[in-house]
Amino acid sequence: MEDMPPSVKQLIKRAIRSAGFELIRKRPHLVDLLVMRNIDVVFDVGASEGQFAEYLRSNGYRRRIVSFEPLPDAFSILQRKAAADGAWTGVNAALGASERSVALNVSRSTVYSSILPALPVLSDFAGSAVEVVRQHDIVLSTLDAEFCRHVREGEQVFLKIDTQGYEQEVLAGAQSCLSRISGAQLELSLTPLYKGETPLAGMVALLERNGFHMALFEPVTYDKARSVLLQIDCVFFREGPAC
């Protein structure tokens, strides 16, 4: 929050206090929470070139990571990194509500690539970077299917989703395994940036209905030209151990 205008900082602080919480200067690091919760496996959905896994490793997380990335160029880089790490697995796939074929819109800057079309608010912010340069046909897997392949009985799982507006669809593919997930981090938009995206309030409500509470958040995308916060990373955990 350091580079945000004071007015925006105060707005965020007031919203948090009105919900019954208080900001503190020193907050726990994500890896601290993973260790405290005894997380055995991190599912990294929308992994790109493996930046999130590298972030976990550089901050001391040493247990298993399974990263999912559908774009071949990004996956090739991710796979090379994973191959040098004995506890990191790369999977060339995207996840959704069901196993089916879809077209992925590949943007000029691949960080904006999504199954969903971008809305004008994102185009206004990112300009030509969000322009679709091609479509790439992919076959979706589901969290339920990948859970069976990669998670052993009794393991504690943390789920990270960064899928450019497709987060609810990813969770919809976890009908059987969601109750076994201990925590999650999602990049969420305050207002939709992609057509069909469920924004922050709806996703928080969905996770709360499934037994999660917000434990940590971090502003991610801020539109300085309009003084608008667009996206935040939200970390959720269950009150008790996963089933």
- Helix, strand, or coil (residue 155): coil
Characterize the bridge pairing of strands 228-238 and 181-189. Answer: antiparallel
Inform me whether the pLDDT recorded for 228 exceeds 60. Answer: yes
Residue 18 lies in a domain: no
Instruction: Examine residue 2 and state whether it is found in any structural domain, yes or no.
Output: no
Q: If residue 102 lies in a helix (H) or strand (E), which one and from where to where? A: strand 101-107
Residue 215 lies in a domain: yes
Of the candidates 204, 234, 185, 138, which has an alpha carbon nearest to the alpha carbon of residue 43? Answer: 185
**Domain tally, the chain:** 1
Q: Which pLDDT band, with edges at 50, 70 and 90, does 210 fall under?
A: very high
Q: What is this structure's pTM?
A: 0.87
- For helices 51-58 and 72-83, the axis angle rounded to 10 degrees is 30
Q: What residue spans of 97-215 are helical by DSSP H?
A: 120-126, 143-150, 167-172, 200-209
What residues make up the domain containing 177? Answer: 30-238
**To which residue do tokens 């948090």 refer?**
16
Q: Does residue 23 lie within any of the structural domains?
A: no
Phi, psi for 90 (deg, rounded to 5):
-100, 135
**Can you list the alpha helix ranges (DSSP code H) found in 61-135?**
72-83, 120-126
Encoded tokens for 221 = 């995308």
Evaluate whether residue 21 is within a structural domain: no
In a domain, 16, yes or no: no
Domain-embedded: residue 179: yes
Q: Residue 134 sits in a domain of what CATH number?
A: 3.40.50.150
Quick one: what percent of the chain has pLDDT higher than 70?
87
